[in-house]
Structure 1
Amino acid sequence: MACEKKEGRIMRPQQHERALGTFVLTAIIALTATALGTGPAAAQPEHSDVVRVWNLHASDALINAATAVTPGAGQAPPVSQLHLAMVQGAVYDAVNSIVGGYQPYLPDLPPAPRSASLDAAVATAAHDVLIGLGIPPAPPLPQVVLDRLEHLYTAELESIADGDAKTQGVAAGAAAAAAMLEARTDDGRFDPSLSWDVGTLPGEWRPTLPSFANSLAWVGAVEPFTLESTSQFRTKGPKALTSGAYARDYNEVKDLGRALKDLAEPSPRTDEQNKVADFYTVHPQELFNRTFRVISETQGLTVAEEARLFAMLNLTTADSVINCFDDKAFWNFWRPITAIQEGDNDGNRKTVGDPAWMPLVGNPPYSDHPSGYNCVSAAYMHAAQAFFGTNKMEFSVVKIAGAPEMKRDYTRFTDVVEDTIDARVYQGLHFRGADVQGAGIGKNVARWVDLHFFQPVR
């Protein structure tokens, strides 16, 4: 979609209404902070690990399983992505209110003193959003997670010298977090009234093993962070069941995505294809946020640059997920497991059915088209390309789940997307068309965000 670059932020009417109340609250906080301290401006360090540290704390709190060494809420990828966007958006606004230079994400956030502590602002913004997530019907984070966050936050503040800068930083972070929580109240998260349609006709999605749960249908109805609608980037949709293009996708995933019937059977995949299939099975939000923590440190980004990078990454991906799940509900297309087991009934003579066919990896409990994993991977990688102004970057993606660790080296951001497209075919989870069009959503959302948000202020 061709868009003219705008200097002003695109704001929906409901955001504008919320922003009016936010302005009053944040202005009071900022004025209070100014009254508490009137000392001389302190030199502001440009480099600190605080953005990366609190991105890690947020990832642990939202994504880790309850049984992990560092226990977390165990949120599914789409859910954790929405909450990471809230955290990183507030962190960006807190830092930007102090440093300036770019448009705020939420409007009407008052500027903070230039002397305010960036470390205190980042820690407070992240902490307050995480603690405040439990607004009904959203469940709060588990108590063990809340207790750990309080401990981490207390330790962070104790490491910062008392004085005006610290007080002002806390006020800036609190104002940004309060604005974000208010803006996301009643945004459609966890709406229990929504469910997926279950079909019976050829091409229609139906639940399959390992989980028959009808969950996460509400994700596609959540109010977007940056997009004008949840369906702004509607895909072309699945290929017609009777077409030759569908038959090619069908036979590809049937051949390359099947599970072995016994250990003696040779794999239909090459060694490299098996490596790709095995690698991209983990929680993508944990994987990619960790990857970009390493990249941002390696690139020597400032606190302000890191705040903007992680906001761009996570708000872009949140809206890609929302658009993706809206698209899933719209097309409601069957996954390969159903399509191949019912292949003799789809009206296409080139698709031979196999009632015993099973995918290499268990299916998520929602429809095939488009691929959520590729909506996510493409959003992260194209947002990174927009931030750095280039697709060329030498970096590694490391899978730490399981033993030994696995690593894949890349020289371009979009090389990751090529791998994740292939991976979902090799895993037997998606037709290639669903992967490619899912990646298209992520790319389009990244372009939209780059054109309309986080713009430098002249």
Structure 2
Amino acid sequence: MKRIVLIFALLAAFTSCKKTNPNYQQEASNPKFLERAQNMLTESIIHDIFAPPVSSRIYMYASVAGYEGAIHADKRFRSFVGQLNGFEKVAQPEAGLEYCYPLVSTRAFLSVGKKLTFAQELYVEFDKQIEADFRKTGMPDEVYERSVALGDSIAASVMRWAAKDNYKQTRGFRFTVTNLPGTWTPTPPAYMDAVEPYWTKVRPVALDSSAQFRAPEPSKFDLTKGSPYYKEVMDSYETVKNLTNEQRDIANFWDCNPFKMNITGHAMFATKKMSPGGHWLGIVAQISRQYNKTYVETAEALALTSLAIFDGFISCWDEKYRSIRIRPETVINASIDKTWIPVLQTPPFPEYTSGHSTISRAAAEVLTKVYGDNVAFNDSTEVPYGLPPRKFTSFIQASDEASVSRLYGGIHFRPALDEGAKQGAKVGQWLLANVKTRK
């Protein structure tokens, strides 16, 4: 009997050894695991129709969690703990135990993402497949379970940090339209309420305050012919009337409207797309793949870019709801040409400064630092929406095109683009000067 038991024990040990792959750490370190998690989160955000600032918050917390899980695999990197506002503690691996840190990272990223979105059913099959793919690396069961547990613990740490950012306190408040001359009012076709009027109350991650890089006051509202403001209005008006095909393509490529309302007869339906932040994080994934970056380097780029975008929205929204500037569509239809229609649908919040200009430049500053200047790339982020890739010679060039797309689209005046880009540059540079990822 003892001999039979011994034989079974040896068979079990032999089977277990065969399943374990000595190179599983290398196979599990493929950045595609994190890229898949990023794509899944984007799909969930699109499904739930989060506004651009809210989307940036979701991406940021998930990316920070992913980064904190990844850095234990590479001693060159340092934690965000003590560097980001209010982020004072995060779960750590237990000394002397083996972990698969790409799994820890991916698990932490997804755990936070799922907690901050609603469409949980979207993750069911995805979770099964990514678990199966991690297990296919030949990872020992105890390492798998331990890594999952640490990923969940890191996610819990990040969620405790997120719970104190004042986001919940800003829910349920609406903006009161004043109807004062030159101020924002809801725009067609949906005439939606103003989006996130209290976003400046949300805690920034690196900025001292939402007003740290306050934009200069916009031109005085004055429709007298020859006034600075009148010239801005006519610039937008004439630009849209005389668009080239290339300019129209640029406007559509950078549209990034999470909720475009379409009207056909008496029927109304929405078209959903990724947000501006989602577009830039998609670029990060493409560049990381193009330059064969490691898992940890990819996590670093995603985290830094998401931090810049998040603070960029806070800085921009601070000005939007200070100046409460009227949109081109409203003033042109009322005072210049009632038949004029912008190329893009006007988003439901004030005009000055441009959100896309601000966050695009903030992201470009970070990516230029991480990957270098004059990095040529093909941006295929919008291919799933039927738009061909566009070629760029640098991140700054891409951000400049994203910015001017708002003029071509007829949804901004030129000063909102210029000042938004300046604002974004300051946000990105401040982040890089005050938050370090390398030891």
TM-score, normalising length: structure 2: 0.80
SS state of the match for residue 393, structure 1? coil
SS state of the match for residue 391, structure 2? strand
Residue 278 of structure 1 corresponds to which residue in structure 2? 252
Residue 78 of structure 1 corresponds to which residue in structure 2? 53
Letter in 2 for 1:95: A
SS state of the match for residue 356, structure 2? helix
SS state of the match for residue 377, structure 2? strand
Post-superposition shift, 1:42? 8.4
Post-superposition shift, 1:291? 2.2
Map of 1:378-389 to 2, 5 A cutoff? 378-388=361-371
Is 1:173 aligned with 2:155? no
Map of 1:34-433 to 2, 5 A cutoff? 44-45=25-26, 47-63=30-46, 65=47, 73-106=48-81, 107-109=88-90, 111-112=92-93, 115-133=98-116, 140-160=117-137, 161-189=139-167, 191-214=170-193, 215-242=195-222, 244-258=227-241, 268-282=242-256, 283=274, 284-343=276-335, 353-388=336-371, 390-398=372-380, 399-403=382-386, 405-433=387-415
Instruction: Note if contact 2:321-2:350 (Cα within 8 Å) is conserved in structure 1.
Output: yes
Higher helix share: 2
Q: Distance in 2 between matches of 1:407 and 1:150?
A: 30
Q: Distance in 1 between matches of 2:73 and 2:384?
A: 38
Q: Distance in 2 between matches of 1:131 and 1:369?
A: 33
Instruction: Note if contact 2:72-2:101 (Cα within 8 Å) is conserved in structure 1.
Output: no
TM-score, normalising length: structure 1: 0.77
Residue 31 of structure 1 corresponds to which residue in structure 2? none
- What stretches of structure 2 of length at least 5 have no aligned partner? 1-21, 82-87, 257-273
Letter in 1 for 2:353: P
Letter in 1 for 2:128: H
Q: Distance in 1 between matches of 2:33 and 2:322?
A: 41
Structural RMSD (CA): 2.5
- What stretches of structure 1 of length at least 5 have no aligned partner? 1-40, 66-72, 134-139, 259-267, 344-352
Instruction: Note if contact 2:240-2:410 (Cα within 8 Å) is conserved in structure 1.
Output: yes
Instruction: Note if contact 1:86-1:129 (Cα within 8 Å) is conserved in structure 2.
Output: yes
**Cα gap change, 1:150/1:43 in structure 2, threshold over 3 Å: closer, same or farther?**
closer
Q: Distance in 2 between matches of 1:211 and 1:336?
A: 16
What per-residue deviation string (whole Å, max 9, x for no partner) do you get for residues 170-197 of structure 1?
2432232111100011423353343334
Instruction: Note if contact 2:301-2:370 (Cα within 8 Å) is conserved in structure 1.
Output: yes
Instruction: Note if contact 1:386-1:446 (Cα within 8 Å) is conserved in structure 2.
Output: no
Letter in 2 for 1:270: T
What per-residue deviation string (whole Å, max 9, x for no partner) do you get for residues 281-324 of structure 1?
13323332222211101111111111111001111101111221
Post-superposition shift, 1:163? 4.4
**When the two structures are aligned, how many residues end up with a matched partner?**
384
What per-residue deviation string (whole Å, max 9, x for no partner) do you get for residues 142-169 of structure 1?
2422434543453345335124543443
Post-superposition shift, 1:118? 2.0
Q: Distance in 2 between matches of 1:401 and 1:153?
A: 22
Post-superposition shift, 1:423? 1.1
Instruction: Note if contact 1:196-1:329 (Cα within 8 Å) is conserved in structure 2.
Output: no
Letter in 2 for 1:166: Y
Q: Distance in 2 between matches of 1:156 and 1:83?
A: 25
- Which deviates the most, 94-103 or 415-424? 94-103
What per-residue deviation string (whole Å, max 9, x for no partner) do you get for residues 37-71 of structure 1?
xxxx98853654222222122212222x3xxxxxx
Question: Aligned residues: percent identity?
Answer: 22
Q: Distance in 2 between matches of 1:375 and 1:335?
A: 17
Letter in 2 for 1:224: P
- Which deviates the most, 118-127 or 81-90? 118-127
Instruction: Note if contact 2:114-2:120 (Cα within 8 Å) is conserved in structure 1.
Output: no
Letter in 1 for 2:151: G
Post-superposition shift, 1:226? 2.0
Q: Distance in 2 between matches of 1:211 and 1:91?
A: 37
Letter in 2 for 1:452: N
Post-superposition shift, 1:84? 0.7
Instruction: Note if contact 2:68-2:105 (Cα within 8 Å) is conserved in structure 1.
Output: no
Q: Distance in 2 between matches of 1:147 and 1:217?
A: 34
- Which deviates the most, 43-52 or 79-88? 43-52
Q: Indicate the structure (1 or 2) with the bigger Cα radius of gyration.
A: 2
**Cα gap change, 1:59/1:193 in structure 2, threshold over 3 Å: closer, same or farther?**
closer
